[in-house]
Structure 1
């Protein structure tokens, strides 16, 4: 996303301006460019959903940090033991920091055992980038995943 400083205020928007080849307005700052992606697996057994994932950065710039979001189609249990760097963001959402990602490098490995409010036969898990450290990502398709996990205990990869 392109950010333009206007009298000390940062205005967000105009995300396609540079991508279309139009010259940036005076004072524009596009930030670094990075290609964040997530790879992992999910498994549902009873009322527990296990998620393992690894954030990756294919460049062309390193990132100091980013935040990924995991959204579920069902409610989380009231009490959760989340790993360091993760926080609950709603009834069905958890966000986690990736940690630094070097050019062509990986962030920290994230593993969660999420308790669900009740046992379900299936859950849809959506993984995407919530905040990318101010970077431009021209290929966001590889950091947006939708996975259907059935209550079999089997791991579904993405």
Structure 2
């Protein structure tokens, strides 16, 4: 785990530090109960990634993926965003833990991810009105359970999917 120093900020003044602690016109609040407000807070580190497959035929797309945490710390939960270049139909049956977050966006929770562990397999089936000949699908992390992810490149996937019935892997 990484440790960061946190202080309390009130009206732009940092409390518990020399900067702004009672400086004239700084709007700082002081007092014995506020001294030493800054403290070390442990921050979890994770490295999230998504691997899976997608297939499209006749305007119907099936997406399967698994979230992976390469560690070093566990993540209590995370949220992955799926974004289509063509908006899925208005009425979709989404699996538990997934919800629409916009015209072209669905978000899904991953559940708990152990350090160097895999999450549950997620599977979505969506209809794309008009049966487009190709669609791009992007996956990325929206929220990492409060963990710091220093390698954001492997949690962003973009797949071009042709309406051929072929499976594309990411």
Using structure 1 for the length normalisation, give the TM-score.
0.83
Structure 2: unaligned runs, 5 residues or longer: 12-37
Aligned counterpart, 2:156 = 144
Tell me whether 1:132 sits opposite 2:144 in the alignment. Answer: yes
Distance change in 2, residues 1:81/1:3 (3 Å):
farther
Between the two structures, name the one with larger relative contact order (CA 8 Å, sep ≥ 6).
1
Alignment of structure 1 residues 92-103 onto 2, 5 Å: 92-103=104-115
Of 105, 108, 131 in structure 1, the residue corresponding to residue 120 of structure 2 is 108
Aligned counterpart, 2:8 = 6
Residue 111 of structure 2 contacts residue 119 of structure 2 at CA under 8 Å; is this kept in 1? Answer: yes
Using structure 2 for the length normalisation, give the TM-score.
0.77
Of 34, 42, 50 in structure 2, the residue corresponding to residue 38 of structure 1 is 50
Coordinate RMSD, CA, aligned: 1.9
1:109-149 per-position Cα deviation (integer Å, ceiling 9, x unaligned): 10000111221000000000011111111111111001000
